[in-house]
């Protein structure tokens, strides 16, 4: 039971990354590698700030700001420097490795004995792992509601259309460069904040904690899409969170099967690859017809 609660908690906390990546990967329609650098950047910023006595909430917000700053740099390289987005992301991600070491001063920093977001009286009174469920729920709720509202504004619509049809967006007076930079800033800010929360939940920050992040975030997006199918934009945002939790369940099952945590990156990549190939596989194997026929049979009875 506690394993399941832990998975839900982890799924909720990691869903922040999925939603953040949704903004660039699905709405702006490009893969942003920066996240592999901004996730540990946010963690390093928050953990170092907390270790120096900063309020954990302020430290988490600071992580958002540093993440957004890194996103801005990727955006400038891409829009003004005309560097392809994949390369721009990789450049900033690589630079972050050094920056993170500078910030932390060593390869990892522990939060042992420090006040974090998770060490309040109320959270400590909850049963084990319920603290991450609570914090995860609150943060996801705030982030999702804010994003849904934002996407309904004129600015939000201009942001969506930038990813949908850049030429048309420009032809009605939308500065697509600014929209792209805004998206990268908000997305990477959220990734930085996610890094800060997850580091506080783990009790430490490590320079290598960003490896494979993009695959995990993509997995929650893709699993949500595969499981829930055709949805409106707002529903898709919620589906990311559910996808993130489902992904944790899959990992839980895999670990129960006897794989070690060292295999997780390999397994994550395999899960994502299978999900991405599902549309092709279902076409090849006529999965849709088989499934529909199966349902139809039950309907007749």
Partner 1 sequence: MTKTETPLLSLKNIVTKVNVNTPNEVMILRHLNLDIYAGDFITVLGSNGAGKSTLFNTISGELPVNDGRIQLKDHDITHLSVEKRTAFLARVFQDPKMGTAPRMTVAENLLLASQRGKRRTLRLRRLKQSLPHFKALAATMNNGLSERLSTATESLSGGQRQALSFLMATEQHPDLLLLDEHTAALDPKTSAELMTQTNQRVTQEKLTCLMITHHLDDALKYGNRLIVLDQGQIKYDVRGAEKAALTKDKLLSFFDTIE
- List contacts with partner 1 (CB under 8 A): 149-150, 152-158, 160-161, 164-165, 167-175
Helix H, strand E, coil C: the string for 113-133 is CCCCHHHCHHHHHCCCCHHHH
158/173 Cα distance (integer angstroms): 10
223 in Cβ contact with 274 (< 8 Å): no
- Nearest CB to partner 1, comparing residues 2 and 152: 152
Nearer to partner 1, 1 or 172 (CB): 172
CB–CB of 34/71 below 8 Å? yes
Choice between 156 and 203, CB closer to partner 1: 156
d(CA 43, CA 17): 13
- The least distance separating partner 1 from the CB of residue 240, rounded to whole angstroms, comes to 17
DSSP 3-state assignment of 204? strand
Nearer to partner 1, 111 or 179 (CB): 179
For residues 54 and 264, the answer to whether their CB atoms sit within 8 Å is no
Q: Nearest distance from residue 225's CB to partner 1, in Å?
A: 14
Which residue lies nearer to partner 1 by CB, 14 or 159?
A: 159
* Minimum distance from residue 200 beta carbon to partner 1 (Å): 30
- Kindly state the tokens that stand for 197: 């929360």
Is 1 or 167 the residue whose CB approaches partner 1 more closely? 167
When computed from its CA atoms, the radius of gyration of the chain, rounded to whole angstroms, is 20
In our burial notation (b when 16+ CB lie closer than 10 A, e otherwise), range 51-64 reads beebebeebbbbbb
The smaller minimum CB distance to partner 1, of residues 167 and 257, is found at 167
Q: Give, as one character, the DSSP assignment of residue 301.
A: -
CA dist., res. 187 & res. 85, Å (int): 14
Write down the least CB distance from residue 231 to partner 1, Å. 12
Single out the residue of 163, 193, 175 nearest to residue 85, CA to CA: 163
């Amino acid at each position: 039971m506690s394993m399941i609660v832990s998975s839900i908690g982890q799924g909720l906390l990691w869903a922040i990354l999925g939603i953040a990546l949704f903004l660039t990967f699905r709405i702006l329609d490009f893969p942003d590698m920066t996240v592999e650098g901004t996730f540990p950047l946010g963690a390093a910023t928050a953990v170092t700030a907390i270790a120096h006595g900063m309020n954990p909430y302020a430290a988490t917000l600071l992580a958002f700001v540093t993440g957004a700053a890194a996103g801005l740099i990727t955006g400038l390289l891409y829009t003004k420097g005309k560097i392809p987005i994949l390369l721009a992301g990789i450049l900033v991600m690589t630079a972050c490795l050094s920056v993170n070491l500078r910030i932390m001063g060593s390869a990892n920093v522990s939060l042992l004995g420090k006040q974090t977001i998770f060490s309040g009286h109320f959270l400590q009174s909850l049963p084990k792992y319920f603290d991450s469920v609570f914090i995860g729920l609150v943060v996801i709720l705030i982030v999702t509601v804010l994003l849904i509202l934002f996407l309904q504004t004129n600015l939000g619509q201009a942001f969506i259309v930038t990813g949908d049809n850049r030429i048309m967006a420009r032809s009605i007076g939308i500065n697509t460069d600014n929209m792209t930079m805004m998206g990268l800033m908000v997305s990477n800010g959220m990734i930085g904040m996610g890094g800060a929360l997850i580091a506080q939940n783990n009790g430490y920050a490590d320079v290598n904690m960003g490896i494979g992040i993009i695959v995990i975030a993509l997995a929650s997006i893709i699993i949500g899409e595969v499981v829930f199918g055709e949805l409106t934009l707002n529903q898709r945002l919620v589906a990311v969170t559910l996808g993130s939790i489902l992904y944790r369940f899959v990992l839980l099952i895999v670990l129960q099967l006897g794989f070690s945590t060292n295999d997780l990156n390999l397994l994550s990549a395999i899960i994502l690859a299978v999900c991405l190939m599902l549309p092709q596989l279902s076409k090849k194997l006529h999965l849709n017809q088989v499934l529909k026929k199966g349902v139809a049979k039950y309907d007749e009875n």
